[in-house]
Amino acid sequence: MPASPTLLPIPLRLLDDRYGPGNVDEAEEALMAIVQSVMGAQATCSFDFDTRHANPWFHQLLLQPRVAGKPATPEQLQAMAARLVAIGLG
């Protein structure tokens, strides 16, 4: 999947390290807390996976945060990415 300016990629290997292999659902609450802390309580997020690469090292969970139907701005995505780095997911 080509990089999109409205997607926030998270390496699946980091989610596996933190929450256990295949436990992406366990991370959902923490990820939504980050999205809502930046975009507000009304923010929502769609989740998708990019596992097309043959090497699992490059597999990603793709978040697409939105509020009132509008995608996150580059500044909001950058703020969320910084918070992900702070908890070891970036």
Nearest CA among 56, 7, 4, 47 for reference residue 29:
47
Domain ranges of the chain: 8-86
Predicted structure pTM score: 0.87
Percentage of residues in the chain having pLDDT higher than 90: 84
Query: Does residue 49 register a pLDDT over 60?
Result: yes
Amino acid 1: pLDDT: 45
Q: What is the pLDDT of residues 15-41, one digit of tens each?
A: 999 999 988 888 999 999 999 999 999
Instruction: For residue 57, count other CB atoms closer than 10 A to its CB.
Output: 9
